[in-house]
Structure 1
Amino acid sequence: MAQSYPEDKVRLRGRHWALAALLALGTTGLHAQNLNYRTYGTQTGVTAYTDLADTGTVISTPDKDDSNSAAQEIGFTFRYNNQDFTQFILNTNGYLKLGGTAPSPALYYEAAQTFAQGGPFKSTNAADVNLLIPFAADLLGPDAAEYRVATTGTAPNRVCTIQWKNVQDKPRQTTTTGTGATTTVAEQYTGFSFQVKLYEINNVIDFVYNTPTAGAGAAAPKVAVVGLKGSGNGFEQILSVAKNTNVAWSGPTFAQGDYGGIPFVFAKTTLPDAGRTYRFRPAAATDASVAAIYTLGKLPISGVGPQTIQGAVRNEGYTTLTNVPVTLTVAGANSFTSSKTVASIAPGATATVAFDSFTPTATGDNTVTVTATAAGDVTTANNTTTVAQQVTADTYSHATPGVLNTSSYGGTTAVAYLSRFQATDTRSVQSVNVYTNNAASVGRTVYAVVVNAQGAIIARSPDYQLQTADMGRYNTYTLSTPAIVYGTDFFVGLALTPNATSYFPVGTQAENPTRRLSTYSLAIGAGTAPADLSTSNAGKLMIEAVTAPVTCLPPTNLLVSATTSTGATLSFTAPAGTAPAGYSLVYGPAGFDPATAGTPVTGTTSPLALTGLAPATTYQAYVRSTCSSTSASLFSAPVTFTTLCTPPAPLATFPYNENFDGVTAPALPCGFTVLDANTDGFTWTTSTAAARSGANALTYNFNNQSLTTAADDWVFTPALTLQAAQQYLLSFYYRVGNTATPERLEIKVGTAPTVAGMTTTIFTGNNLTANTFTQGTAQPIRVTTDGTYYVGMHVTSAANSFRLSIDDVTLTAGPLAVNQALSQAVAAYPNPTSGLLHIDLRSSKAHQAQATVINSLGQSVLTRTLSTKQPDELDMATLAAGIYTLKIDLDGETAVKRISVQK
């Protein structure tokens, strides 16, 4: 199994102790709810492992597999979990229960490589309490195995030693996730001996281990349970010892509560050294400890403002602490002192003390110390905690400088682990440093990110594949474009790319309890805000944000407000404060580097117009402020846009059909234009999400970034040549994305593809709810004069709606708008004709007349003015044989005749 670290818990390492250290004096009591052993009292060191040999008494068991012994005598009264015990019962699987009643006989995890089920910490059996667990695993006692107890010394300094000798772990089966294949994990330790020592004078407990023989099978990890259990499996009733596969027995992690991430993992590759000892010291009546100091490990000299350093003061005793003096001292490059008094701290509780504000005035190294003093506190080793701090020119970090990681964060999915910082001025985040010390991360691809409070990535570094040389150090990830933070919170971290197996590239330092609102995770692409991990005591992420103050601020909200085939108009928001002298916009092909390439356009205000662009071409643009001849801001975030194609000549042939399938989404057919009237960046495109025919449909998607912004977006058809005497019929199909969110659409006709140019409404739908394509028919289009016109579709749906799609648009030429009585007054002969057509308009009594001959395709082939006072002629000799329509405009009204030309 690859080395793994939790995504929800980080363990606090206990203090190391010297062999010459004296055991603390005095017996202890217990606060009623909690086990009277705490993490501060856990120590690891090396003592001499002394085999009991023939000393004491052999402990008999029915067999050497899953068996309990009879009650055995301790030889003195031992105080544990607020109770006095004189007996214990040994179990062959590496644990014992104080008292005269037996525990469950098989308290170990049920698979070789998982701790999801089983184990003494997880048991809810009322018998499985008051347990001392030096090495709970599925153990087997071969013929040479022996269990023994010996009580030595004289009162009040007697020691009871309980020994498991020459045991071994059983071969176990494990199942491969996904395939279901099972494999046997061979025994890892043989000839393994270990002891529990109970000290009469002070109720100290030692677990002492001898070095086993490595098993003959292949090396593979197995899980065990090591620690103490009181009256149940609650957080304050368990003191657990954890280590991962390749962590030495000398470096375990001690913590309150059941295993949340890593159990005690062992393998033949990591054997305990002879005499390796884990010590547990009970709580005293009065015992104040400083559990953590909450301050930045690195902070810039500017941009952070006054610092409120906090200390977490814990009552490790079993009586209430009152009026506890707590003092902060900062020494080194900066000096500062502040003292507070905590009125009351209940047993087992932690008080967070906020000291007076501290503002560093010099760069350099500080030593930050917090001391808590309680009257009658005889355990003074834990009264003071000290951390290092560096005041820098440019860097933020929660992690303590110069301290290695105690764990790491990671997984298999696209997730980022983030530290939250606060800038009090405007700064650019330029790079991110992340400490990595996990071999499983070698070859994995990661990238740094800067994230806002909504979870949007506002800057990132290029992808990077971790190398062996990157392990055990901080690695720098330079952002492709620096991120600007405007005196507010920002999140900086490392993102994982998905991988089939877990890897853990983000180092952490233990901090228990972890400072709140400091450590976060973000599911990449989920559209959610960063999730706070600090409530699960995740520790300090070893992440640094390298920044610089910004005095010349860039513009924001760069948008394309209009495009043509050869140009574009770009708008932006001026930076806050004093307006810069001007702006420089740089554009070029998508992906270009604005620092070294592109074409500049300058101006003093928004918007800026780009000209001379190539039709149907994708561009990218950046803008920055020019504050002086020597000072310019960083570039804004880029905007990408595509110029329109060269529009076709006005369409004069009908019917006109458009199914939007001749382009690749999201491009529009040539000649169509859009107007993002509310400039929110969400407008009409083609889309494959919903189409009636073919692949595409014309689609508007709602603004999912601002749920209060209603739609106000136009799409205009290509230019259309329409005739006054002709009526035209528009047909289309529409559907909405969700019946629960009705859409709104109006369709207008006008002489220009602009809002002002749209003058005549031909369709209004204020409650469109059909989620299957439904035919919509507009009112007939009648224009007053021949000319060029456009049809505009205007979506006005309410904010937080969904999607409106339109497909299979058809515009047909309907019957002419004819005055039938006037047509009767027009004489046209001969009909059919092969040449001159005689026309007599005297009976119409009209004053003006205009004749137009229209062929069967709707095209005008002959136009001239006619006399209304005397007979006139039209020369049709040049026209091909066929049926034509003679349209005559008489004082604003229309008369028609059908004319046959024969050759």
Structure 2
Amino acid sequence: MRNFTFLQREFSNTTVKSLFWLTWLLLFGILPAKAQVATNYGFSQLSGTFTPITGGILLGTETTDDQRFLDPAVPAGGTVTTGVGLPIGFDFTFNGQVYNRVAVNANGWISFGNSSLTPAVNNASTSAYTPLASTTATTPTHLRNRISALGADLQAQSGASLRIETIGDAPNRVCVIQWLNYRRYLQTDHNLNFQIRLNETTNIVDIVYGTMTFNSTSNTAHVGLGGSLATDFNNRQTTTNWNSTSAGTTNTASCTFVTPGATPPVSGTTFRWALQSCLSVSSLTASNITPNSATVTWSLSTSNPSNDYQWELRTSGQPGSGATGLVNSGTVSNTTTTANLSGLAPQTEHQFYIRSNCGSEFSSWASLVFTTACAPFVPPTLETFTGTFPPICWSRAQNGTPATGPQGGTVFNWVTRDWRNTANTSNGISAVFNIFSTNRQGWLITPTYNLSSGGFSVFYDVAVTDYFNANPIETDGGNMAIDDEVYFLMSVDDGVTWTTLEIFNQANTPPTAGTTKTYDISTVNSGTVKFAFFATSGPANVVNADYDFFVDNFSVASCLPPTSLITSSLTNSSVNLNWTASVSNPADGYQWEVRTSGAAGSGTTGLVQSGSVGVGITTVAITGLTPSTAYQYYVRSVCSATDNSVWIQGPNFTTLCDLVTEFSQNFDTTTAGTGILPPCWSRSGSSTVANVIGSAAAPFSAPNRLQMSAVFNSTVAYVLMPPVSNLQAETHRLRFKAFATTTGRNIDLGYFTDESDLNTFVLLESIPVPGTTQAIAEELFAFPAGIPTGVSRLVF
């Protein structure tokens, strides 16, 4: 073996400037329609010449970074957001307002203002690097109107300049705002040159690009127009080619600049926005949203189109792009303000587009996004809480009581975490509520279920542990605190009224190891049934009471699945699958599947073996598997010929590797990454650094090497080599190249008598490793001897 690297410590440090994350969750609802700049301006792309300006007002210096320029008397700029503004030189009409001032942001964009206002300009933005998505309000609101040529985290560099100049003669003057030789913050090999040009009389907006040199780091920029609200935008997007952009569909849409990967605009490329004579409708809204229908209304176009309105309903694709993603389309008269949409798919985002037909021309498309409601779930169903949380059609609330039901709120305390704070359990991820302090509460609410046929049960796994560990609760003898409660409730009228099915409290605390709760609701035959968990920490603050309440595997069914799926007796070609019998005592036993891919019951692709066992049998022996291969397995109960439970997934397993008589590994064909090792290699110990990394250099073979890191005795890394059949023969040697980043280090060679127990490591030899650079790595040898029968893997 060669190319082994032992690293004593490795540190990395990344500087991130002004990074913000904002996450929205939309279970169902509508996004407001685009407003005026979205519908009143048409986009076109022209070819021409980039002609730099050299006069006017020079703004900032070669060290400019994040400045705003709001006052001709302060050309150096600053951090304030409001001021008297820079003169345009003429009246410029944009988005229905007349402006004579602008504010310039060094990050590639401007906003409009007027000298008659105080302040004249307001260049505020939620983030200066994403100006078209800003939700920061201005007063008056039209001071938010803006143009972004390259809205990103920009910075000047040597030879850079930013200036504003009005050129030409009335009535055809042009106000030019120009960035020359700018770059992305702290990046090299960038040369970004562009202008925003405001044209007198025509009120046309041009963005003109000069030489645009990208580097190998992927960045994005906002390009386009923004109105007085964040929902009013007319922008461009591309990930590959600035010479062939498309209309953005969200205010976060952007253009990627990276090479290779994204073609820069040809010098002289002009993005033009001009007012249209044929205008679209406005004020689109969606109402009466059900799982299968919605009503869209709008205000008539002020152009009074001579013909009609054309509309499209889509789940993907741009309007007019063809059949892919098209749900429906049609025309309505020029006096109609409503479209009734039916036959829609539940819980699906739809885009509604409409434009005016003025006879000789069309307006741009106005659009609205809405999501249809969830259809009632029909059992059997199972929610494992893996993936998006809350899951689709589930919801959370903060306020309310079991008497009133959930009452909304802004703080949602139900989250997800490993079941019982223990990774790699058969339960995987679960919903959890941390109970501590006083009056901390929250709701976790299921979708609506259609139980009109009756005969169902509901079940879920529940457990309580100490906060963020798998131990019992530290206080009150391992029980919940005196006034802490978690309610499990049911509503048969879609959440209007609620009935308590069980209360968990100090006298009824779920076990630390977890248990499965089952409720017979066979007499319930409503088509609008919901369930909910309501947790509260109560008004009393019990000292040190801080623990986690877990819920997992929530299911509504008439035939309940088995539980506690595990594997045993794993070899290179076989495994035993085991589970605990279903409480339904299924009359026809169980069905099982072993797969390499695909969901249970999804067909032959990825299916390795399948079968069934009779009533009362809870194990099956699987043979004929492929060595060193990852598998998933699933089991379900079969209560009758027409009634099965949901499929339950057991823990994934990987068959053992075949024993070999010798092996060689240079790590070069293994993808480098945290935790990644070649097939049949594995790691153990407390250190997280034992993996393949890149950057191998002579005398190692490029591109990869193995890295291990240990810090004294506090974090220890072990790497287990592939199993061999002849360790006891003492006929082979171990050869490898290695170096350390610190002098005086050794690498220990040995074996485990029990690979699941780090305390069983037996040292064979402690081998000195040279340091401190890989250039002086040496080829080292070892001759393992005295290894007992039954051991097949050497360990570093």
Give the structure-2-normalised TM-score: 0.35
Tell me which of the two structures has the higher relative contact order, counting C-alpha pairs closer than 8 angstroms and 6 or more residues apart. 2
Larger Rg over CA atoms = 1
Between Structure 1 and Structure 2, which shows a larger proportion of strand residues?
A: 1
